[in-house]
A and B are shown apart, each in its own frame.
Chain A
Amino acid sequence: MDDLTKRGNHILSVRAGVALLVPAFVFIGLFLFFPFIWVFLISFTNRTLLGAAAQDPEFVGLGNYLRLFDFSRWMRSGEFGHSLYLTVIFVIGSLIGQVTLGLAIAFAFNRRRGKLREIIYTLVTLAWILPETAIGFTWTAFLDGRRGTLNAILGAFGIEGVEWLLEFPLLSITVFNIWRGTAFSMLLFSAALGNIRPSYLETADVAGAGPWQRFRDIMFPLISPQFVTALVLVTLWTFNVFTPFLLTGGGPAFGSDIIAIHTYRVAFQFFEFGRGSAIAVIVMTINLILAASYLFGLKRKEVAT
Chain B
Amino acid sequence: MKFLEKKILIKTLIIFAIYFSYTVIVSSLLGVFNLNDQIYNLFIADLIFFFGMICAYKNKIKDDYHEFLNKYKLKEKILIIFKWVLLLFIFNLIMGFLTEIFLPSAADGIDDNVNALKSLFGVSTMYTIFKAMLFAPIVEELLFRESISECINNKIVFMITTSLIYAIMNTIYGDMSKTYMILDFISYFLFYLILSGLYLKYNKNIVIIMFIKFFYNLIPLTILLLGV
Say if A and B assemble together. Answer: no
Contacts from B to A (Cβ < 8 Å): none
